[in-house]
Amino acid sequence: MNRVALALPIILAACTPSGPPPPSLLPRAAEKVRIDDPPGETAGVVAAQASTATQADIVRLLAQADAGEAAQVKVYAANRAALGGLTAASGSEAYVAAQTALSALESARIPTLDALSELDRLALAAESSADAAALTAAQAKVQAILDRQDARLR
């Protein structure tokens, strides 16, 4: 009994936590933001503070992304009936026409993909936080366009 009584404080001391407290399992602020929400209204304010060259690049690239969106919408409208053939038997005429229409839809979105790629490159090379913030907001807008285009491809 004496040995157990002497060993009990040592055993209990081994069970107590040491070091910093464990991390919280509550959601972090970044996990509460919905990724499908549009960027906040502050994006326009930050873009106004960006350099003139960055603003010009953003305007040019957003116009390019919009042109890619318009092109894909036009191709989608023209090929909507053919896309119904995606469920047809593989190798059938309807299936081949659907694959051709799908390829046309993919090709029509190339300007939008190029715009996002250029925005990514500019964001990596941004020299000020205002430029980086404006480019990030523009990236979010172009990504929303690409998400709509992805939905048409499904």
Query: pLDDT tens, position by position, for the chain (154 residues)?
Result: 677 777 777 777 777 777 777 777 877 766 666 655 555 544 444 455 788 888 999 999 999 999 999 998 998 888 888 877 777 777 788 888 888 888 888 999 999 999 999 999 999 888 888 888 899 999 999 999 999 988 887 7
Gap between the Cα atoms of 42 and 53, Å rounded: 20
Alpha-carbon dihedral sign for residues 62, 65, 69, 74: positive
* Residue tagged 């992805």 (tokens): 150
AA letter at 39: P
Residue 76's pLDDT is 87
Q: Which one, of 101, 71, 70, 72, lies nearest residue 85 by Cα?
A: 101
Q: Tell me, what's the pLDDT at 43?
A: 44
CA atoms lying within 13 Å on the CB side of residue 34? 4
